[in-house]
Amino acid sequence: MHSERRYTLTLSCPDRVGIVARVAGFFAAHQGWILEASQHADEHNGSYFMRLEVRADSLPFHLAELRERFEPLAAEFGMNWRISDSAIRKRVVVLVSQQEHCLYDLLGRWKSGELDIEIPCVISNHETWRGLVEWHGIPFHHVPVNADDRGRAFAEIERLFTESRADTMVLARFMQILPAALCRRHIGRILNIHHSFLPSFVGAKPYHQAHERGVKLIGATCHYVTEDLDEGPIVEQDVIRIDHSDAVEDLVRYGKDIEKAVLARGLRYHLEDRVLVNGRRTVVFR
């Protein structure tokens, strides 16, 4: 966690000569102190990606004016861009079902200050974790999801998310498939942890599938949610080695540890604006 206030610029645009010089020159012209800079050129599709962190107090104007002054340069290069302010905590709504390990982990990291975020609420299709969540001083919303009224349930979930003024929705083992329309409306804002090293073993019970195939590595994947089930751009992954002596129960236990770590890392990268979507893939500036 950085103590000084920072503005973070992220951008993508068609690749061409002069982007780095013009962006760096823009900040230099205003005495902007660049603390961190990362860039990547994708030669296959001709796209360029950049992330800059600048000391806020080195600039002679505030965020709104910074955005206004940068707009002409962004338009010249056809940039898809945004500038965020480290002084404004990101707001994260967490969705969970019956398995609590990812929820526990996120609440612990939030409580300790490791994740410097606001959690306006936790939403679940079960009542199971109300006591845990409310003990942390966070509002808990029970929204049952039944086969005959899924539309109503997900409309309520989206209403809570919107009214919370949340930036990000995290599916911390929320075992429901989100409607395609909801995914489209919030593209790039919904993170999921999948208990498998995608694209292998998609859908339900991936550890059982892995055990049946006799794999030697199992893993977890943090990815953005899209209308295509378990096929959204991947943010973070990790694996652990297993062998023939491990039962399905062992795989599930090992997997829970990986899931917690991968989700926490993926969420941090997302919150720090280190993830830029590149078609079906991502550019992650660690």
**Judgement on whether residues 122 and 73 belong to the same structural domain of the protein:** no
Instruction: Look at residue 129 in the predicted model and tell me its pLDDT.
Output: 97
Domain hosting 15: range is: 6-85
Mean pLDDT computed over 130-154: 96
| Residue 1 banded pLDDT, cuts 50, 70, 90 | low
Instruction: Look at residue 2 in the predicted model and tell me its pLDDT.
Output: 57
Alpha carbons 141 and 259: distance in angstroms, whole number? 24
Give ∠ CA 53-56-59 in degrees, rounded to 5. Answer: 110
What tens digit of pLDDT does each residue of 61-72 get?
Answer: 999 999 999 999
Domain termination site, one of 85, 100, 131:
85
Q: Is residue 1 part of a domain?
A: no
Number of domains present in the structure of the chain = 2
| SS3 of residue 137 by DSSP | coil
Mean pLDDT computed over 271-284: 97
**Judgement on whether residues 251 and 131 belong to the same structural domain of the protein:** yes
Domain termination site, one of 52, 85, 118:
85
Domain termination site, one of 85, 104, 123:
85
Alpha carbons 54 and 6: distance in angstroms, whole number? 6
Alpha carbons 246 and 207: distance in angstroms, whole number? 11
Residue 24: CATH number of its domain: 3.30.70.260
Q: Which residues contact 283 (CB under 8 A, 6 or more apart)?
A: 12, 40, 42, 49, 275, 276, 277
Tell me which residues are annotated as active site.
230
What tens digit of pLDDT does each residue of 216-261 get?
Answer: 988 899 999 999 888 999 999 999 999 999 999 998 899 999 999 9
Mean pLDDT computed over 28-37: 98
Strands 80-85 and 190-194: unpaired
**Judgement on whether residues 247 and 154 belong to the same structural domain of the protein:** yes
Mean pLDDT computed over 88-117: 97
Instruction: Look at residue 232 in the predicted model and tell me its pLDDT.
Output: 95
